[in-house]
Amino acid sequence: MRRVSFVMLLALAGCVGDGTGLDPNGDPVGSGPPAPGTTSFAADIQPIFTANCAFSGCHAPPSPQLGQNLSAGNAYASIVNVTSAEVPTLDRVEPFDPEGSYLVHKIQGTFPGVGGSGGRMPLGQGALPEADIQLIRAWIADGAPNN
């Protein structure tokens, strides 16, 4: 009987938490940016664009806004190392530089601070979840690889 109690105690010890869903820093569990080098354009970034941006009348054919086509198979070439139409001193995505990427400013709502115009993206849908913004920032910080 003692052996069973000891085994059960060990098993339960692995399940003990503070019950708040917060990590030791007080942030929601899993809310931090992904580990460097773990983001994938195809698996992580394109699905965000497909779900929130790549619609007819927005950033998809037949007439993508500002020539920025975020549909699958077109998005990468449309944003990485491409000059922003609204702020020509910034690229839409500048590899390794989230703060120098106009896309980041548009999704964070900080675009007026860099001379941008228009509205926060995605327009009419509300802000992207913070986790999606962090994924995009991490992907850019990793060099915006096309993987």
Kindly report, residue by residue over 17-74, the tens digit of the pLDDT.
Answer: 344 444 444 444 445 556 767 899 999 999 999 999 999 999 999 999 999 999 999 9
CA distances for 11 relative to 1, 8, 17, 20, 137, angstroms: 15, 5, 13, 20, 38
Domain ranges of the chain: 38-141
Is residue 1 pLDDT above 50, yes or no?
no
- Residue 83, both tokens: 């000059």
Q: Look at the block and give the residue holding tokens 């020539």.
A: 67
For the entire predicted model, the pTM comes to 0.76
**Over the stretch 92-121, which tens digit does the pLDDT of each residue have?**
999 999 999 999 999 999 999 999 999 999
Query: Could you tell me the pLDDT band of residue 144, with boundaries at 50, 70 and 90?
Result: very high
